Amino acid sequence: MQSFLPYAWFRGRCVPFAEATVSVATHALHYGTGAFGGMRALPNPEKPSEILLFRADRHARRLAQSARLLLTDLAEATVLDAVTAMLRANRPSTPSYLRPFVYTSDLGIAPRLHDIETDFLIYGIELGDYLSPDGVSCRISSWTRQEDRSLPLRGKISGAYITSSLAKTEAVQSGFDEALLLNSRGKVSEASGMNLFIVRDGVLITPGVDQDILEGITRASVIELARDMGIHVVERAVDKTELLVADEVFLTGTAAKITPIRRVETTDLSGPRPLMTALKQKLTAITEGREPAYEHWVTRIALDQAS
């Protein structure tokens, strides 16, 4: 059972979560005309009155860009101000996940993005590990990742996640933890809601932006960290069989953080994961505010200041 934070940001103010409701006729509910983001909110273990947000500016920018794909304007500052107000209202004492969402709030039946009202909300849940830190089993989904020519994949458009939902359920109901989707060219694209990395002969490899992936913020952070650590990084197409012979395979995402893949289909993967472990330790230290060189990746929200 998910534990929701007591207050949501709804129609320009903080309200009790139970009061943040929309009509059954809401346009986005019927047509998937919304876009969402996700942020990790971590109470500072050294300073309980402070919340740490990982790369909040990048998350706000991507949501603003996603909104533009829906032909609506959402300022990055609006997102960050609302997140701050919401966190101060909730004062979370455990790690939490925030879900900002911009959507068509009109009550109507015509599928469109013009001459329509939009709104913006945020809610949150308490969230520790989304996937097992010990690793997950994956199957290759029978569903194909969409193409950018059919859906704007540069944004987290809510309607696009029907494919992710189908793939995830197919995987779980067939005995796996997670799904890996191939694109229309038969190359590995991503998981149901995470990006993918493999390691071969000391080289960190990930499907490039030309493989119909979401441009993940954790993915971009891992690439930058790896290069700073002297690890050679290559963004290119990845074949299915490469997963089976790789030295390491892992997933990245805001919810998933860095999670190893321990099995693909019927093949158990290599156990030692030194490169992934080093990256995970570094990223954890950054998100906890313990890496001064990456302090610019962390937004610190003081809960005791007036909203």
Q: What is the largest CA-CA distance in the chain?
A: 55
**Residue 21 burial by Cβ neighbours in a 10 Å radius (0-12, 13-18, 19+):** exposed
Pairing of strands 39-43, 267-268: unpaired
* pLDDT score, position 1: 66
pLDDT of residue 306: 57
Residue range 182-216, pLDDT digits in tens: 999 999 999 999 999 999 999 999 999 999 999 99
3-state secondary structure of 257: strand
pTM, full prediction: 0.95
pLDDT given for residue 100 in this prediction: 98
Of the candidates 83, 71, 37, the residue with the CA atom closest to the CA atom of residue 218: 37
- CATH value of 136-272 in 3.40.50.300, 3.20.10.10, 1.10.3720.10, 1.25.40.10: 3.20.10.10
Check if the beta carbon of residue 47 is closer than 8 Å to that of residue 75.
Answer: no
Q: Architecture of 7-126 per CATH?
A: 2-Layer Sandwich (3.30)
User: Mind giving me the DSSP string for 72-101?
Assistant: ----HHHHHHHHHHHHHHH--SS-EEEEEE
Q: What is the pLDDT of residues 211-250, one digit of tens each?
A: 999 999 999 999 999 999 999 999 999 999 999 999 999 9
Question: In angstroms, rounded to a whole number, what is the distance separating the alpha carbons of residues 229 and 21?
Answer: 46
Q: Which of 196, 225, 207, 206 is nearest to 55 (CA)?
A: 225
Rounded mean pLDDT of the chain?
96
Range 110-135 average pLDDT: 94
Task: Report, as an integer, the average pLDDT of 292-306.
Answer: 92
Mean pLDDT calculated for residue range 26-48: 95
pLDDT band at 124 (very low <50, low <70, confident <90, very high): very high
Give the pLDDT confidence score for residue 287 in this predicted structure.
96
Burial bucket for residue 182 (CB in 10 Å: 0-12, 13-18, 19+):
buried
Q: Structural domain boundaries of the chain?
A: 7-126, 136-272
Q: Is residue 50 over pLDDT 60? A: yes
Q: Can you give the pLDDT at residue 2?
A: 78
**What pLDDT score was predicted for residue 45?**
86
Half-sphere exposure of 30 (CA within 13 A, CB side): 13
Query: Do 7-126 and 136-272 show the same overall fold?
Result: no
Distance CA(249)–CA(29), nearest Å, equals 36
pLDDT of residue 304: 87
Helices of type H across the chain: 27-31, 56-69, 76-90, 161-173, 217-228, 240-245, 274-287
What letter represents residue 6's amino acid? Answer: P
